Structure 1
Amino acid sequence: MEIISGVERRRRWRVEDKLRIVAEAERPGACFAEVARRHEVSRSVLWSWRKEVRSGVLVAEETPSFMPVQIAPERTSMAAPPSAGITAPRPAADASVERDDRIEIVLADGTAVRVPETVGTAALRRVLSALRG
């Protein structure tokens, strides 16, 4: 006998888990009801997941991949001649000590993305996937 002493809440399933369970239910010889019971999910929810997979709604997230990286010196732009009375800032004694707090990503087609090093991974992933699309 199982006694539930509180409000039952919905479980939140990760996409990877849903896909793994649906794949298990679709194996030849698998008993759909047994797979649902083993993973403690209702058959109707499993049927819904299966329908979402077949219609392309439930898909695996794109896995991150490594891209070749080349570190290149920063390009200098043509600076305008200093105006009278305005002096240009003096460069630091040791230019190699200066920090550049941005990340520059140049794609194969020449598109460049410059972001601060504090950019979130999710935001950067969205920007790069939009550029690829």
Structure 2
Amino acid sequence: MDNDGPNGRHQHSPEDVDYRRVEVITGRRRRRDWTADEKAEILTACMAPGMKIAAVARRYGVNRGLLWTWRRQAMDDLVAATAPH
């Protein structure tokens, strides 16, 4: 079978000179800027007795990892604010 004609199979590899990568960006912007008040509200919800991070993340549409980062930052800020100078 001849692969050189117009109906031949296309075989590309990253080493091919003609190889091109195309990135398609669709949909709306995913990154969001949270205000300090919004973060405080969400972190307060995380602190409720028996509340799970995953449930709060789903309710507010926030990534669980981001909530853990906010919690760590809040704790670091609290320690820094209460540390003797």
What TM-score bracket applies, with the shorter chain setting the length?
0.5 to 0.7
Question: Pairwise CA RMSD of aligned residues?
Answer: 2.0
Q: Which residue does the alignment assign to 2:73? A: 52
**CA offset digits 1:36-77 (Å, max 9, x no partner):** 1100000000000001111117xxxxxxxxxxxxxxxxxxxx
Whichever of the two has the greater Rg, that structure is 1
Percent identity of equivalent pairs = 38
TM-score (norm: length of structure 2): 0.56
1:10 aligns with 2:31: yes
Q: How many angstroms does 1:8 deviate by?
A: 2.5
1:40 corresponds to: 61
Task: Spell out structure 1 runs of 4+ moving beyond 2 A.
Answer: 5-9
As a proportion of its length, which structure holds more strand?
A: 1
How many residues are aligned here? 54
Number of the residue aligned with 2:47: 26
* 1:129 paired residue number: none
Q: Which has the higher contact order (CA 8 A, sep 6+)?
A: 2
The one-letter code sitting in structure 2 at the alignment partner of 1:15 is A
Which amino acid is 1:36 matched to?
A
Shift of 1:9: 3.5
- Which consecutive residues of structure 1, in runs of 5 or more, have no partner in the other structure? 58-133
Residue ranges of structure 2 left out of the alignment (5+ in a row):
1-25, 79-85
Q: What amino acid sits opposite 2:33 in the alignment?
A: R
Q: Which has the higher helix share?
A: 2
TM-score, scaled to structure 1: 0.37
Q: Secondary structure at the match of 2:27?
A: coil
Pairs within 5 Å for 1:1-133: 5-56=26-77
Deviation of 1:7 (Å):
4.6
